[in-house]
Structure 1
Amino acid sequence: MSVREQVSFVGAQGKLAGNLYLPDVDAAAAAAGVLVAGTWTSVKEQMADRYAQELAARGYAALSFDFTGYGESEGAPRDYESPALKAGDLCAAADFLADHPAIADGPLGVLGVCAGAMYASAFAAQDARVRSLALIAPWLHDRRICEENYGGPEGIATKKEAAAEARRRYEETGEVTYVPVVSGSTPDAAMPFDIDFYLNPERGGIPQWPNRYAVMAWTEWLDHDAIALAPRVTAPTLLVHSEDAAIPDGARRFHAALTGPAEFLWTDGIQFDFYDQSPQVRLAADAAAEHFARTL
């Protein structure tokens, strides 16, 4: 059993809204704290809440929240994907947990799902409070991986040109240029495919998620180098992934570059199974909880 506490705390651009899942309302002892970061463009209800709930059921105090400009959190422009800003939001969330009476003093764990792994690892690389890291179906890219997934150097150049034009428009008019995050009929969509998780209202296609991507964010997203940050991550790190999920080569290279203790658990499933499907989520949550038990 777990209890959910709706919370808010201050980020760089205002209030951030979150859900703090606590292990047991009757538990006398404070619990170890874990931050949960969902994947890019997501709101907390899509997968972060699910993992926070699973961790609370396993004895942890887990915080999921909407990043700046997403969901119920404040901040503008809306739905702007910024790895640096999201790492900063995780720092603000860590500050909040440190002052919460239900959270035990001491080390902090962070769990990142898909691109949340990039934000979690970037935060861990710059903040010694992170003592344990769990990365679930991690999307961890560098320039080479971006070229492989976004149409080579020409595709990246095209996206950056569109981002520059969108940035100029925003600075001149305040209007944000958006494309869909997911759409099989829109070639310029961030993910130009029909993906059931995001389009199915029984899964991630929920009203809280507007399915839009701020075009001017492409430059920051494409220039982020998670692999280069790996040597700065010294906290014990668990990666849970599948060869059928997204860019397993990036996860392998990130794992190889880590300087702290690292464990890799390979399992089955496509990328989106790790967001909400019982076998994959349960296995990943079990593995993360065991990892945190050993390392926090």
Structure 2
Amino acid sequence: MKLLAAAALATSALTGTAQAATKIPVTFESDGETIVGDLYLPDDYEEGDRLSAVVVTGAWMTVRQQMAGRYAAELADRGYAALAFDFRNWGESGGTRRQFEDPQSKIADIEAAAKFLASRPETDEERIGGLGICASAGYMVTASLTSSVIRSVSLVAPWLHDTSILADIYGGDDGMDALVRLGDEAGQAYAMTGQQTFVPAASMTDANAIMYQAPYYTEADRGMIADWRNEADPGFWRGWLTFNAIEAAPLLKQPFLMVHSESAAIPEGAHRFFDLVPAQKTELWLEAVTQFDFYDQQGPVTTAADAVARHFGETL
């Protein structure tokens, strides 16, 4: 089912603001690493209540206080328990190779997070969902294929790619080969010396940044927060360029919602993914909403969070 919404609809909230949520610091283990997170609960939560719960993950190279925490708070404000966490190697979580974007370890961390969330006394283990935002959308759907507890999936502004889409983005086969070589050189140096090489994750002026001239991350009143370290290990390129998020689509069995915009990142990949999903599915397309607007702008966030809350309310 396909739904369309104008940007003006974003001003209509179903509930109050996200500040109403209660936040509890938590830790859990994933492959021997300590993962640090925040469990968001409705402000009116009472001990003994067992809520539907959602694991929330954000864009690549981010920490839980950015878009993952924002959406977790929004969902708690709508009656859910919601977990945002730092992936291993990022933020306050463990891991020795810092600032390293590794799809496979992030997929494993999502599975561990879902199991942890299902074990909490505040949650109903039979009603656990997963919400992936931007690049973690591919990680979320892949984790959902093997997770024993994720019963429903939502994606907001999903970055969903395969090799052909990445070739268009990164300058064809030659451009991708150059990035792989760059990453392999960094990886080889790390293996030999134990020392990492870092480049800026985002910059308006440094063309070596992974995200060059990107808003949100370069704005102090948005994503450039004190909890976020603006660096990345370029050794990630091979793992990122060979990860295929779209191949998970035909295998997805859980009820599925996607919220996106033609003005956001790679809508072609989102359309291709959605068409391949065999399960119960709904898509909501917002007009003239950019990728970064989905992260923190009140209108798009409210509209997306309302849709996600409805989806989980109907499927968990």
With structure 2 as the length reference, what TM-score do the two structures score?
0.91
1:9 aligned residue (28, 31, 34): 28
Q: Does 1:165 align with 2:185?
A: yes
Is 1:287 equivalent to 2:300 in the alignment? no
Shift of 1:52: 0.4
Match of 1:250 in 2: 269
- Maintained 8 Å contact 1:113/1:136: yes
Code of the residue aligned with 1:9 in structure 2: it is F
Q: 1:183 Cα shift?
A: 1.9
Displacement of 1:211 after TM fit? 1.4
Q: Distance in 2 between matches of 1:190 and 1:145?
A: 17
Equivalence for 1:18: 37
Matched with 1:220 is: 239
1:263 to 282, 285, 288: 282
Checking the alignment, whether the CA contact within 8 Å between 2:145 and 2:252 is kept in structure 1 is yes
Give the 3-state SS of the residue equivalent to 1:64 in structure 2. strand
- Aligned-partner Cα distance in 1 for 2:120–2:128: 13
**Structure 2 letter corresponding to 1:125:** L
Which whole-Å deviations, capped at 9, do the CAs of 1:233-259 have from their partners, x for residues lacking one?
A: 111110000010000000000001112
SS in 2 for 1:271: coil
The match for 1:191 among 196, 211, 214 is 211
How far is the alpha carbon of 1:229 from its aligned partner?
1.4
- Is the partner of 1:34 in helix, strand or coil? strand
Indicate the percent of aligned positions where both proteins have the same amino acid. 42
Match of 1:174 in 2: 194
Q: Distance in 2 between matches of 1:202 and 1:27?
A: 36
Matches of 1:184 and 1:5, distance apart in 2: 35
- Counterpart of 2:220, as a letter, is P
Q: How many residues are aligned here?
A: 295
Q: State whether residues 15 and 73 of structure 1, in contact with CA within 8 Å, keep that contact through their aligned partners in structure 2.
A: yes
Between stretches 36-45 and 259-268, larger displacement belongs to: 259-268
| Contact 1:180–1:189 (CA under 8 A) maintained in structure 2 | yes
Mapped contact 1:142–1:226 kept (Cα < 8 A): yes
CA contact (8 A) 2:216 2:222 kept: yes
1:202 is the counterpart of 2:221: yes
TM-score, normalisation: structure 1: 0.97
1:30-109 to 2 correspondences below 5 Å: 30-109=50-129
Match of 2:259 in 1: 240
Aligned residue number for residue 111 of structure 1: 131
Amino acid at match of 1:208: D
- SS of the aligned residue for 1:217 comes to helix
- Distance (whole Å) between structure 1 residues aligned to residue 295 and residue 88 of structure 2: 21
- Amino acid in structure 2 at the alignment position of 1:292: F
CA distance in 2, matches of 1:13, 1:152: 38
Aligned-pair CA distance for 1:182:
1.2
Query: 1:147, 1:153 within 8 Å by CA — same for their partners in 2?
Result: yes
Shift of 1:143: 0.2
Distance, in Å, in 2 between the alignment partners of 1:190 and 1:10 is: 29
- Letter aligned with residue 266 of structure 1: W
How far has the Cα of 1:104 moved from its partner?
1.1
Tell whether the 8 Å contact from 1:34 to 1:62 is kept in structure 2 after alignment.
yes
Q: Match for 1:101: what amino acid? A: P
Following TM superposition, the consecutive aligned residue runs of length 4 or more in structure 1 with deviations greater than 6 angstroms are none
Rounded Cα–Cα distance in structure 1 between residues aligned with 2:21 and 2:205: 41
AA paired with 2:221?
Answer: E
Q: State which drifts further: 69-78 or 26-35.
A: 26-35
Q: CA deviation at 1:184?
A: 3.3
Instruction: Tell me the distance in 1 between the aligned counterparts of 2:91 and 2:273.
Output: 30
Q: Which residue of 2 aligns with 1:138?
A: 158
Q: Which runs of 5+ in 2 are unaligned?
A: 1-19
Give the secondary-structure state (helix, strand or coil) at the position aligned to 2:211: coil
1:28 is displaced (CA, Å) by: 4.7
Aligned residues: CA RMSD: 1.2
